[in-house]
């Protein structure tokens, strides 16, 4: 069953828990700002993302606190419309969390959280030396979207200079996701680390045949998942009948045929399980050749269950 929840039926902080836990993981903008009188502030915001690249635009939103007061970052950019957006790696996440505490406005979170200030080149706020990537930005627009506790203000920033640690780059000069080791924000006290088994690749889509064009037994398989079907539907053309015959004649599937014949196994299920393994290895073509053999071969009789 599915519950339908109207935000109007809950207190804002109650619906916030649902939003915060469901729209996740969220990247973290570790934002440094400066007031008109020169006091530096450093604070993390997970209401943050990239919103364009020509020009390069970052947007973050400091929500008002439980008393309805503006965050220090917002007060500062109203006075000095410049920021540095520092990204957060796993090695600095605990310090970043400490910087989120509600210190007095003129207390430096750089000092409290133990971060090192590095003078920026084109804006007044300093950047964080420990951050693997930092973006110097000018604030182009402030867009309030409310005025009570929890209300946000979109801070629209244009990147005018980026600083990248050499240690996170590949030989081609691209950011290596394993080396940058980013963290993301979930609900409550939870975070996620974008590394190790959490990383996986999804090939960019082609104008494929689509899931609607898959054979019915494949499309309705109890073994293949939606992700499996997505991979199968991304091919631009199915293998030809000749390719299917050649694959069968190669003997690759003989073990499955024997298992179905002598182990009382249902052949289509075996073929679907084999295809699922191949898809997990991103071997989509061979998965298709396996599945299409279930379309062309007679089903091996299963005397134990009466299935054919």
Q: How many domains would you assign to the chain?
A: 2
- At 88-102, the pLDDT tens digits run 999 999 999 999 988
Same-domain check for residues 218 and 121: no
The domain boundary residue, chosen from 137, 170, 197: 197
150 and 24 share one domain: yes
Looking at residue 263, its pLDDT comes to 62
Domain boundary among 133, 165, 197: 197
pLDDT tier at 261 (50, 70, 90 boundaries)?
Answer: confident
One domain, residues 167 and 257? no
- Considering the domain architecture, whether residues 173 and 219 belong to the same structural domain is answered as no
Q: What is the mean pLDDT of residues 27-42?
A: 96
Is 142 part of a structural domain of the chain?
Answer: yes
Of 136, 164, 197, the position where a domain reaches its end is: 197
Q: What is the largest CA-CA distance in the chain?
A: 86
55 and 87 together in one domain: yes
67 occurs within a structural domain: yes
Note the pLDDT of residue 200: 80
pLDDT at 307 over 90: no
Mean of all residue pLDDT scores within the chain = 90
Q: Is residue 204 part of a domain?
A: no
- The answer on 241 and 189 residing in a single domain is no
In this prediction, residue 102 carries a pLDDT of: 87
pLDDT tier, 265 (very low <50, low <70, confident <90, very high otherwise) = low
Q: Same domain, yes or no, for 17 and 97? A: yes
Residue with tokens 């007095």: 104
Same domain, 32 and 155: yes
Query: Can you give the residue range of the structural domain that contains 139?
Result: 7-197
Under the banding of pLDDT at 50, 70 and 90, the label for residue 267 is: confident
User: Against a cut of 0.85, is the pTM above it?
Assistant: no
- Domain CATH number, residue 142: 2.30.110.10
Please tell me the distance from the alpha carbon of residue 91 to that of residue 182, in angstroms, as a whole number: 9
Q: pLDDT tens across 145-190, in order?
A: 988 888 999 999 999 999 999 999 999 999 999 999 999 999 999 9
């Amino acid at each position: 069953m599915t519950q339908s929840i109207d935000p109007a039926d809950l207190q804002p902080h109650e619906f916030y828990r649902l939003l915060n836990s469901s729209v996740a993981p969220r990247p973290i903008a570790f934002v440094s700002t400066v007031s008109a009188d020169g006091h530096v502030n450093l604070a993390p915001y997970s209401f943050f993302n990239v919103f364009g690249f020509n020009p390069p635009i970052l947007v973050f939103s400091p929500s008002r606190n439980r008393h309805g007061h503006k965050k220090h970052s917002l007060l500062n950019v109203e006075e000095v419309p410049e920021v540095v957006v520092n990204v957060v790696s796993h090695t600095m996440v605990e310090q970043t969390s400490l910087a989120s505490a509600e210190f007095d406005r003129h207390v430096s979170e750089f000092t409290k959280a133990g971060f090192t200030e590095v003078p920026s080149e084109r804006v007044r706020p300093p950047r964080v030396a420990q951050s693997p990537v930092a973006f110097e930005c000018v604030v182009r627009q402030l867009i309030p979207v409310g005025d009570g506790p929890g209300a946000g203000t979109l801070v629209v920033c244009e990147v005018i200079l980026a600083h990248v640690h050499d240690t996170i780059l590949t030989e081609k000069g691209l950011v290596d996701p394993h080396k940058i080791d980013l963290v993301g924000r979930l609900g409550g006290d939870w975070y996620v680390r974008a590394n190790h088994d959490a990383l996986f690749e999804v090939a960019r889509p082609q104008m494929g045949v689509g899931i609607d064009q898959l054979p019915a037994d494949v499309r309705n398989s109890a073994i293949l998942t939606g992700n499996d079907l997505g991979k199968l539907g991304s091919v631009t053309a199915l293998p030809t009948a000749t390719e299917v015959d050649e694959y069968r004649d190669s003997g690759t599937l003989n073990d499955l045929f024997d298992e179905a014949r002598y182990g009382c196994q249902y052949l289509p299920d075996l073929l679907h399980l084999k295809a699922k393994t191949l898809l997990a290895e991103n071997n989509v073509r061979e998965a298709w050749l396996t599945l299409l053999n279930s379309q062309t071969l007679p089903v091996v009789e299963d005397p134990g269950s009466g299935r054919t």
